[in-house]
Structure 1
Amino acid sequence: MTFSKKATILSLTAIVALALAACSNGNSQTQPSQASQASNSSASSSSTSTSTSASSSSSATTSTSSSSATTAASTELDGTYTATHEGDQLTLTISSGKGTLTTLERDGEKEIEQVEIDSTNQRMIIGDDVHRYYINGNQLTVEDIDQEQDQDDTIIFTKQ
């Protein structure tokens, strides 16, 4: 193989590695360095399959670090929160990204709903409804994404 064919194959391999890195989910700041590592791996070997497997392993590493960040962010919500909304007493208990919302209505009826946290998108799924949440100190603000203009479905919980 002549030098120009090797250079062409190396260039194409680097482009493929960069394209795979750009398309993968994960932190965009770590992608370029991992793509460079994949390109360097292919430079030391003339085999294109080596470059592909190096690129695949860098994508797997990125996904793992992304899920670790999600877990760390969801555990910062862990705890018990209380609020009053339209006369109902609400207790929200969260642990490791999951929990329950217990509503004690004015008439004494008790309702319990399952809660899931998507900390990456700051979303909270309560029952079947998707809500957006914000944290400010010991306050957790939860608002219904689908609320109408004239409705106030925003609830401010206080951490206990």
Structure 2
Amino acid sequence: MSQHAQLQSEISGDGPISEASLSYLEQRALSQFYDYVMARFEAEESKSNLTKARLARRIQRGQDQVNRLLASPGNWTIATVARLLAGISGEEPVLSSGPLFGLSPQNMTVMDLLESTTITAPVILKRPLAPEATPTYSSSSNIPLHIMKQ
């Protein structure tokens, strides 16, 4: 049984939902909050020149803490999201939810990728090299990536 099918079976059934499935859903929700907050930060950064230092002053936190918060969602709480949104854009989080199933898969497992038969054109991603490893002739390298869909 695929991970998706197992999750769907657990959610739609009456039995307990496995710890692995609950952890997956928690991390997925946390990633969605993080992506939203980061999109708001990037929009305000370009629109009104918001900096991490200014955000730190606005939410009364150290710049090192703001750097950590914006680097990854780590141990964010609802209070963290509320504080960041207030400081970034003067907004508050508004909750909504949607069905877990019937949507296109967003995350693919290795098996999903291997079973996929449709291949689109290659996409070139730029990956910056670490500063100490940056060659004198280039500041980034091209990585070809083939996106596969089911």
Larger relative helix fraction: 2
- Normalised to the residue count of structure 2, the TM-score between the two structures is 0.29
| Larger strand fraction of residues | 1
> TM-score scaled to structure 1, two decimals?
0.28
Q: Which has the higher contact order (CA 8 A, sep 6+)?
A: 2
Q: Which has the larger radius of gyration?
A: 1
